[in-house]
Structure 1
Amino acid sequence: MKTTAWLAKEYFLPDAISSIKDAIEKAMGNEIFMIGRLNDDLLVTDVDVYAMGNKTAVPAMIKEAKCGDVFIHNHPDGILEPSDADLEIASCMGSQNVGCYIINNTVEFVYPVVKVMKERLCEKLTFSELSAQFQPGGNFARHLSPYEYRKPQVEMLKSVVDAFNEDKIAVIEAGTGTGKSMAYLVPAVSWSMKNQERVVVSTHTINLQEQLMEKDIPMLRRCCGLDFKSVLVKGRNNYLCLRKVSNVRSEGGTLIEDKDRRQLNDLLAWAAKTRDGSKADLNFVPQEDAWEAIQSEADQCTRLKCPFYDECFFYIARRSAASADILVINHYLLMADLMVRKETKGYDAVAILPPFQKIIIDEAHHLEDVATANLSTTISRLRIVKLLGRLVNLKDARKGLLQYLKSKFKEVGSVHDKAIAGEITNRINTEILEARQLLYDTVQGIFEDMSQSVSNYSNYAGLQKEEMRDEECKFRVTASFTSTDLWRDVIENQFRKLSADIQKFVSLLTSLLDEMTELSKKSQEVLSSVLIDILSCKMRLKFVANEIDAFLVENEKICKWIEIKRYAGEPTIRFCAAPLSVSEDLKTCLYDHYRTILLTSATLAINKTFTFFKDSIGLQQIPERQLSELILDSPFDYQRQSILGIPTDIAEPGQPGYVAALEESILQTIEISKGRALVLFTSYSLLNDLYQRLEPRITRLGYLCLKQGAGSRHNLLEAFKKDASSVLFATDSFWEGIDVRGGALECVILTRLPFKVPTQPIIEARVEAIEKAGGDAFFQYSVPMAVIKFKQGFGRLIRSREDTGVVVVFDRRIVTKRYGRVFLQSLPDIRCIKDKRDVVFQGMRLFFGSDTASSRQGNERPSGKTTKYSLYKK
């Protein structure tokens, strides 16, 4: 070598070296251009291939690199001296702290033309400069008409700027209409552009993602003239896998069940013309089994070894994300990425997402639930049987991965390794298939036995009422339950046997895969696709066995429960586990590793404090100096735009006469508002009951009556908006995330206070834990959770300065119970009528009878937030 070189292992992690070798081999030893990502120790942890060339040159895709990345390319002749072109590019990009390495084809040596600087100073944001964009005469005012300056928006901007500059965790409640998305996007984009550092924005709902990508970010570009790259990042399972598509096309008769063929043909036709390979690009909703047959999955990916790597939709999307300034994702993807980083300790490397240090979590009131779901496990018969069904089809034993493997062995045996191929094929026929069938029979028998035994127990113990026989029953695995004969003699014994049998089968698959290493390299290349799929099944079965073992271990930090439901008269069972608290996990994987975290929502505070929110997600562990808090009221004039009605002469929920009174009260409310109403329930059963009673009566009034579940959420909302006098009965997710402006929604009816069902296992366990620690679970947990939901439901009414309307609460506990004050004090400053139904309804008639909003504005303002409005008492 003409130039002194260094050992590659001093600059690259082993996985990165392996990936580069595979890429060079795939390029037949020609030059390739890669971008490497570095960890805190400046070691290359991951690479992406961006171009392939010939023996002497390769295109340099320099725009794809970010500050702190490194260009990597190989010199096939082994001479690592940089060319003039290499030096020119290295000089240009080195000023942006992008490194440049030259390697040989065996990746033994590296010549670091330019090294990445470890320490660099961040350019801080200037609040006055950014706030000028929002001032009258600023960029937004010049480009948007009409435009209105909002003081709370600028106050939020200041808090976000401080969090970015001072590496803080900021908790901000910004009331509806604050303009919070622009208040965090402006500093996020500015920081990214100034410091060449990406910022992640995480949301809970698709609606907000669409708002950010289709409205807010384009508006920011247009108004402020900023040139930045933003990417919506989806989870891997949203993309098709070209390797799987190829296998289905060529070997579908061996792999796919006949019933799925028609839809798979539609998916294959789509795969040939799709723009981005994403499920969102489909014009139909695919069946779960059909999509699973072609979806991209991490444990079935061969990465650079895959013949379709260059065209892979997932990796194209990931490369796009790697060069983006702003990544928009959802909370589930964020948590999945954080969990991978926690396991691999790779906070500065590529995990599911490229590395980042600044995170904005919008709709943050969902973070605890999403973290809990991500850390939960479910063991079911279906989960195990589906894995075994991938190996041998459940309906047709001539199909499946093992049969596909045997067919590929015929191809291999006719050219290479005939003897070994014959031996392995014989082993599959005489040992593996038999063991797989035995395990399948064991799974069926064990779950049938446990389902019947637990069903009998739940009936005997009164856990499942007669009228609930066909509905799902859930009960916790408590210390008293684990002392029963059912637990010891049935569940524990059967689970130990099942775990052992799964492990035995996993060992057989391991030995089978080990035998493949004796095949020639050519044969292994032919078999690589099917082998990665079988390896995936093996690892997933192993995870199930580990989760079964964990379920049997006593752990006071974990809530375990059993779910049983009847299908076609037969009981089916699932075993579930979730952490009692996500505080430690969030601290370990989130708070301890990221410099700036913004947590925001319109509903975080309870009675003007963040105590409940901070306790629920572990922020109480963070030093005060690292935290900042801000509560911003909505800029809307609720005194002028709306009233809150609370009838006090209706029975409480659960008392005799409540449902009948609710029926008549809802109908009368809808008559007064002339439709235009959203009726929110806390249970599907009450929703269905009252919808059946009221739908004919509402229809006779001339109003369209809609019900959640009668169509897709999107279509239902569009129908509701289109028919301005329609009425929508809904529950659960419709309490939040819907934005209906104008005359289509002028009345929100809350049928009862949204307390969580106390019999839900995880809720029950958390309540017990608080009580055990000496706290008051009702006021510390149940009430705050209900208040957050209540605020969300209330917030459906007023969505703009032009909106007007009424919120009616048919749950008198909000004024008769001590805890009711917490609900009312958490609302904006609004006129409130707390009186008999006749008085409340008369107030509504006066409100809706006013000719204009301005005529209502002149009414006398009450002294207290929720004082009765005296005009309505005349």
Structure 2
Amino acid sequence: MEKNLPGFEWRPSQLTMMKQVYDSFEDGKHLVVEAGTGTGKSLAYLIPAAYWAKQEGEKVVISTHTIQLQEQLYSRDLPLIKKIFHNGIKDPVLLKGRNHYLCLRKYEHSLQEYHENYDFQLSKGQILVWLTETETGDIEEINLPSGGQYYWKQVQSDATSCLNRHCPWFSRCFYHNARRKAQQAELIITNHSLLFTDIQAEHRILPAYRYAVIDEAHHFDDVASRHLGHTLSSFQVDNTFQFLVSERGGGLLEDLEKTLLQEKEIKASIAELFGNLPMDVRQCRDSWREMFQILHRWTIEKGKEGDEIGHTHFRYKKGDLQTTVGKGLLAAVQNSLEWTAPLSKKLEQLSRQIQEQMESMSLTMRGLVSDLNGTIQDLLTNMELLHSMLLSVDEENVYWVELDRRGFRKGIYINQAPLDVSTLIRNLFFDHKDSVVLTSATMSVNDSFRYALERLGINDLYNENLVETSLLPSPFNFPEQALLCVPSEIPSIKDATEKEFIQSLAQSLGEVARVTGGKMMVLFTSYS
């Protein structure tokens, strides 16, 4: 280590943790270890994980909560690990969720469409230049404008519209190339979200693995709750309808009709299949918008301000839906479902008849039909979620509505999550692994791991000596080496203008910076 990292020095807690990680793999036990800030956790688990993978021929998955830590492990720490092992381990792979990767087929198709939105046009140009440089197709490499995030949703990779080997871009597909590399790798760097997405996809995303290291493990059960639950947003629904029939003109149905008329083998009568479909889409969209408007008013009336400015939350139960407003909402929900069900059937019939009447589809037509099938699946999923969240409320889940009142487009989010995810985490994850190491700087409560073990569903395994715990101190003397400053003179952002708040904050930070000589780190509570 000293040869490859000048100035490096081993820390007692780091060496202890390194041995504990290796022993847990060798003994087939789980390990929960709290390692204080400055311990050097990353190297303490990467070195034994790499050695174990090489020695046993096993894959080891390293999972983090944040993309930033993923990037740090992959770009800074793993190159050092490769030097330590004299390049004796296969190239580690960084694997993210599918929506992080660009779909080249969708992007190519989008270039043929005109967008009045400046951010959309700018994003197209940015991506075109970026494609001359990128090897991964990962959105984290490019900084799109705010409106470009909506454009990205149209061109990101997704399972429902993927043509797989029929796609003309398959050999260059960024997502499939990342998965192929993961199949060959010994160390796979990913994130908690993808771990649970893989579970929901019946383990079709990640290669089979029996050993895992979960860093930032204090977020693990929260991520499980989100992924084993569901969210339905007004943006999500509206984008589905806009993709079918855009309010600015165009859309998937129009593209389908134009392409069908250009296909020589297609009977002219197939155009009749479209009938009143565009009008049906608009009426269905309007029914959903009306439902979301009622939901918005209900939440404003019943909800309370969230931790973030501009956010309103309302947690509802079955009884809340029996009030006068609640019954009105349920009627609007039922109306939306009654419009969406026949629309979905008409679209399914259109897709089926196109495929039956076309002996050989062009690549363009194949792509449009795949997009149509993906959109139909989105409609069915939206219906299922709406029914589950408002018409089938039970005691085993928690339900809440969240309003984001910032910006021009007001977001409305309906959420559902299991009340207790511990049993699900145990059954779906831990029971399928030989050894899992969970680590964080904050895993214990009053020097006890009981709460964490219960939340993870492995408390009984601990009682059976199948889970080890370890509390490792930080090498730093915080009372002597650190100072926590909490400014009290800054006005509340609710009671001051944005300009006044920023000026007061900047002045306070400047004063502290002068006293500390610039040696400071500023922590903010807002994710905006």
TM over 0.5: yes
Tell me, yes or no, if the aligned pair for 1:240 and 1:313 is still in contact at 8 Å. yes
Q: Kindly provide the amino acid, as one letter, of the partner of residue 610 in structure 1.
A: F
Deviation string 1:223-280 (CA, Å, 9 cap, x unpaired) is 342421211112222221111122223x324xx5554334323323433553332223
Q: Secondary structure at the match of 1:603?
A: coil
Q: Tell me how far 1:143 sits from its aligned partner.
A: 4.3
Residue in structure 2 matched with residue 64 of structure 1 by the alignment: none
Give yes or no for the alignment of 1:416 onto 2:265: yes
Does the C-alpha gap of structure 1 residues 480 and 166 become closer, same or farther in structure 2, counting only changes over 3 Å?
A: same
Pair 1:195–1:451, CA change in 2 (3 A): same
Aligned to 1:385: 238
The one of 626, 629, 638 equivalent to 2:466 is 626
Q: What is the aligned partner in structure 1 of residue 51 from structure 2?
A: 190
Query: SS of the residue aligned with 1:252?
Result: coil
Q: 1:261 maps to what in 2?
A: 121
Partner of 1:508: 346
Cα offsets for 1:813-865 (capped at 9, x unmatched): xxxxxxxxxxxxxxxxxxxxxxxxxxxxxxxxxxxxxxxxxxxxxxxxxxxxx
- The letter of the residue matching 1:444 is R
Within a 5 Å distance, the mapping from 1:587-606 to structure 2 comes to: 587-606=426-445
Cross-structure match for 1:616: 455
Deviations 1:727-746 (A, max 9, x none): 84622579xxxxxxxxxxxx
Q: Relative to 1, partners in 2 of residues 1:567 and 1:645: Cα closer, same or farther, differing over 3 Å? A: closer
Matched, 1:663 2:524: no
Root-mean-square deviation over aligned CA pairs: 3.3
2:34/2:442 contact within 8 Å kept: yes
Residue 33 of structure 2, aligned match among 153, 165, 172: 172
How many angstroms apart in 2 are the aligned matches of 1:514 and 1:452? Answer: 40
Q: Is the 8 A contact 2:340 2:379 kept in 1?
A: yes
Aligned-residue offset at 1:288: 1.3
Unaligned runs of 5+ in 2: none
Q: CA deviation at 1:687?
A: 10
Distance 2:381 2:408 in 1: 31
Q: 2:126·2:144 contact (CA, 8 Å) conserved in 1?
A: no
Q: Retained in 1: the 8 A contact 2:123–2:145?
A: no
Report the equivalent of 1:312: 173
Q: What's the offset of the Cα at 1:385?
A: 1.5
**Structure 2 residue matching 1:592: 3-state secondary structure:** helix
2:423 aligned with 1:574, yes or no? no
- 1:732-771 map, 5 Å: none
- Give 1:171 shift: 0.4
| Deviating more after overlay: 293-302 vs 360-369 | 293-302
When residues 595 and 729 of structure 1 are mapped into structure 2, their CA distance, relative to the original with a 3 A threshold, is closer
Give the counterpart of 1:440 among 285, 299, 310. Answer: 285
1:222-237 matches, within 5 Å, as 222-228=83-89, 229-237=91-99
Which residue is equivalent to 1:426?
A: 272
Distance (whole Å) between structure 1 residues aligned to residue 10 and residue 521 of structure 2: 35
Q: TM-score, normalised by structure 1?
A: 0.55
1:730 pairs, out of 514, 517, 524, with 524
Partner of 1:242: 104
Inter-CA distance 223–564: structure 2 relative to 1 (3 Å threshold): closer
Number of residue pairs aligned between Structure 1 and Structure 2: 521
**Whole-Å Cα distance in 1 between the matches of residues 23 and 43 of structure 2?**
16
1:703-727 CA-to-partner distances (Å, cap 9, x unmatched) read 589xxxxxxxxxxxxxxx9x82678
Partner of 2:223: 370
User: Shift in Å at residue 446 of structure 1?
Assistant: 2.7
Contact 1:378 1:577 in 2 (8 A): yes
Structure 1: how far apart are the matches of 2:116 and 2:476? 57
Q: Tell me which residue corresponds to 1:517.
A: 355
- CA displacement at 1:169 relative to structure 2: 1.2
Shift of 1:381: 3.0
Q: Which has the higher contact order (CA 8 A, sep 6+)?
A: 2
Q: Which residue pairs with 2:14 in the alignment?
A: 153
Gaps of 5+ in 1: 1-139, 647-661, 667-680, 706-720, 735-874
Cα distance in 1 between the residues matched to 2:234 and 2:383: 12
Alpha-carbon shift at residue 547 of structure 1 (Å) = 0.8
Q: Call closer, same or farther: CA 1:168–1:525 in 2, change over 3 Å.
A: same
Q: How far apart are residue 453 of structure 1 and its match?
A: 4.9
Alpha-carbon distance change, 303 to 558 in structure 1, aligned in 2, over 3 angstroms: same
| Distance of 1:383 and 1:311 partners within structure 2 | 29
Residue 533 of structure 1 deviates from its aligned partner by 0.6
* Post-superposition CA distance 1:27-54 (Å, at most 9, x none): xxxxxxxxxxxxxxxxxxxxxxxxxxxx
- Among all aligned residue pairs of Structure 1 and Structure 2, give the percentage whose two residues are the same amino acid: 27
Which stretch shows the higher mean deviation, 435-444 or 383-392? 435-444
Cα distance in 2 for residues equivalent to 1:550 and 1:543: 10
TM-score by length of 2: 0.89
1:181–1:402 Cα change, 3 Å = same
1:208-607 to 2 correspondences below 5 Å: 208-228=69-89, 229-249=91-111, 251-253=112-114, 256=115, 259=118, 260-282=120-142, 284-285=144-145, 287-341=148-202, 346=203, 351-396=204-249, 399-412=250-263, 415-417=264-266, 419=267, 422-428=268-274, 430-455=275-300, 457-458=301-302, 463=303, 471-488=310-327, 490-523=328-361, 525-551=363-389, 552-564=391-403, 566=405, 573-607=412-446
**Aligned pairs for 1:16-35 within 5 A:** none
